[in-house]
Structure formats: C-alpha cells, structure tokens
Chains A and B, each alone.
Chain A
Amino acid sequence: MRSEQYSRFVLFAAIGAVVWLGFLPLYNLLFSWTEFVPGINWVYLPHGLRMMLVLLLGPAGASGFTLGAAIYTRFSEFGPHIDPWLDLTLAVIPGLAAWLAVMLTFRQWPGQSLQPLVCAGAKALDGRRLLLLAFVSAILNSTFHITARHVLGDEVYEWADLLIAMLIGDLFGALILLYTLKGCILLFENIKSSAMHYERKAKSESP
C-alpha cells in the first residue's frame, strides 16, 4: 500500500470510528427503551449507519466502526464483564457482515476502492438496491452475531428468539434511518427552492 493510500485508509477509518463513537451514545440515550436483551434492540438505527459507512468508505469505514464498537464496549458498563475475545468477535462481525452484504448487492460503489471517486466511474446509487442491502446485511449480521454469542459466550436465551429480534431490529433500524435521512434531504431542498421561488417572485414584482 502506497503511503498516500495508507494515509487515506487511516483517515477514513478514523472518520468511521469518530462517527460511530458520536452516534452510539446518542442512540443509546434515546432508544434504550427498545432493548430486548443487552446488545439486541427491536429498533437498531446504528445498523443503517454501518451500511452507509461501508458504502462511503469501504473496508476503511468498516474497520473504523469496528474499532469504535470495540472502544465503546470496553468503556461501557458491560466492558469489565464481557470476555475480550467475544467482545472483539462481536465488534468485527458487523463490519464483516456489512462489507459482505455490500459486495453481494452492489457491483460498483465508491467505497469499493481507496481510489478517488472521480476515477471510479461510480454509477448513481439505486434506492431499491439500498433496501436490498438493508435486508441482506440484517440477515448476515444477525446470524453471525447470535451464532458467535452462542458459540463463544454462555448465552441463556434461545438462538431463534435472539435471531428474530436482532433481524427485525437491524432491518427496521436501517429503514427508519434511511427514510429519515431522505425526509431531511427533501425538506432541506424544499426550503431552499421555496426561498429561491419567493426571491424570484419578489424580484419580478418589484418595479
């Protein structure tokens, strides 16, 4: 890896980690009521964030939120009680699952390489494919996560119960986040075009 690419990887990974560490405490503060069992929620918005980080930043983004997740768990209330190997595995799985899901659903996307986007010739992102990505990554992430918890930890809950809760949480969390962002973008555009319309109208009406 050339030093230029290395610094780009480090920068993107750092952005991924910072975004994750900024978003997760906020999510936990607002959505703690959606918790089913520790680590599994009925609505898990950060899953949508993971998808977006991998789409934008690729493996660097995945490494970033993996690092962020590992740091966050270490300093959370579960940190001292959780086995370090299980903690590391559970931090790596979402990055791996999101990366695999993007590989399966997209042929070409900006995060695929560390090359600048202008050279990548990336096509426009298709909204339907984004929904497919949410579904595929939710399946992969929940299956890998629950299996790891059963194999490496002493999980007391049923495998199927946890899988269903996590699948629903990841899928709905991603969908809610994606559509909320879409709503915000459209609202922002409406405000902007409304201001332009009234400005033009005022200009045309002025003598």
Chain B
Amino acid sequence: MSEKQNPNLLDLYLRFRWLVDGLKTLPSADVLSIPNVELLLADITQAWKSGEPYPINKLLDRQEIGHFNTVRKRIHQLKDAGLVELQGSDADSRVKLVVPTAQALRYFEEYAAVIRQVSK
C-alpha cells in the first residue's frame, strides 16, 4: 500500500524542529553560579589532574553529586560554556572521558591567585 506524503506537513514539522532547536539555545545564567556546578568542575579537574579522568558514565552514576539527569545537564552546561570537553579514551573509543579545558584551568589558576592574595 503506497501512502502519498503531504509536503506541507513535512515542511511544517521541519520548521517546528528548527524552532525547537532555537529555543534550546536561549541564553541562560552564568553556569558557575548554579549550585554544585563549580564543585562538579573541581571534581572533574581533580580526577583529570590525578591522571584518571572520569568516564562520562561513571560521573553520571555518582548519586552523591546529584540525580543522573541533573549531572548530565550540568556536564552539558559546562561543555557549552567551554569549561569541559568530552574526549575518546585511548583504551576504548566508546568511552567518553570528561576533561577540563584550558579555560577551566585558567579559572582555577585565577581562583588560586585570589586565595593566595587574601591569605598574605
């Protein structure tokens, strides 16, 4: 049985998808001002510094940081803000590692400088 496609409905759907994708890019508040995000970034950076960066699955399963959905959303917010990136593991290309970017390292350097200045 052959069904004739309605080009108008197909076009409407594509236009709707375009709008939905656009709505997702509406600007949000500064990502580091969201509770626990800075802590998550510090955790990711610390793990990376110790030579064992977190695989994304392992990070998502850490219930003490937050619910799976919350952690996933925060990781994506950090990624969108350019503070973390997802890298393929050398051992298994299916595993994605969450690593801090140069921007995140600069942020912590500045933070450390401020603490040093205050403690003088």
Binding site for B on A (CB under 8 A): 7-8, 11, 15, 52, 55-57, 110-111, 116-118, 122, 124-128, 130-131, 178-179, 181-182, 185-186, 190-191, 193-194, 197
- Determine whether the beta carbon of A190 is less than 8 Å from that of B26: no
Identify which of B12, B21, B26, B69 gathers the most chain A CB atoms within 10 Å of its CB: B26
- Determine whether the beta carbon of A127 is less than 8 Å from that of B23: yes
- Determine whether the beta carbon of A111 is less than 8 Å from that of B23: no
Interface 1/0s, chain B 87-120, versus A by CB < 8 A?
A: 0000000000000000000000000000000000
- Determine whether the beta carbon of A124 is less than 8 Å from that of B15: no
Q: Which of B52-68 contact A (CB under 8 A)?
A: 60, 68
**Chain B residues near A57 (CB-CB < 8 A):** 15
**Chain A residues near B26 (CB-CB < 8 A):** 127, 130-131, 178-179, 182
**Chain A residues near B8 (CB-CB < 8 A):** 7-8, 11
B3 at the interface (CB under 8 A from A): no
Per the bound structure, the CA–CA distance linking A117 and B16 in Å amounts to: 10
- Determine whether the beta carbon of B14 is less than 8 Å from that of A130: no
- Determine whether the beta carbon of B25 is less than 8 Å from that of A125: yes
Per the bound structure, the CA–CA distance linking A178 and B24 in Å amounts to: 10
Q: What secondary structure prevails in chain B residues at the interface with A? A: helix
In the A-B complex, the 9 residue pairs with the closest CB atoms: A125-B22, A127-B25, A127-B26, A117-B14, A190-B69, A110-B15, A116-B11, A182-B23, A56-B15
**Chain A residues near B14 (CB-CB < 8 A):** 110, 116-118
Q: Which residue of A has the minimal Cβ distance to B72?
A: A193
| Chain B residues bordering chain A, tally (CB within 8 A) | 23
- Determine whether the beta carbon of A125 is less than 8 Å from that of B11: no
Per the bound structure, the CA–CA distance linking A207 and B58 in Å amounts to: 20
Binding site for A on B (CB under 8 A): 7-8, 10-12, 14-16, 18-27, 60, 68-69, 72-73
* Complex partner residue of B19 from A7, A15, A56, A186, CB under 8 angstroms: A56
Q: Which residue of B has the minimal Cβ distance to A55?
A: B19
Per the bound structure, the CA–CA distance linking A194 and B61 in Å amounts to: 12
Q: Which residue of B has the minimal Cβ distance to A56?
A: B15
User: If the complex has contacts A56-B16, A117-B15, are A186 and B73 also in contact, measured as CB distance less than 8 A?
Assistant: yes
- Determine whether the beta carbon of B21 is less than 8 Å from that of A125: yes
**Chain B residues near A194 (CB-CB < 8 A):** 68-69
**Chain B residues near A191 (CB-CB < 8 A):** 69
* Complex partner residue of A128 from B12, B24, B27, CB under 8 angstroms: B27
Q: Which residue of B has the minimal Cβ distance to A15?
A: B12
- Determine whether the beta carbon of B25 is less than 8 Å from that of A185: no
* Complex partner residue of A124 from B22, B27, B60, CB under 8 angstroms: B22
- Determine whether the beta carbon of A185 is less than 8 Å from that of B72: no
**Chain B residues near A127 (CB-CB < 8 A):** 22-27
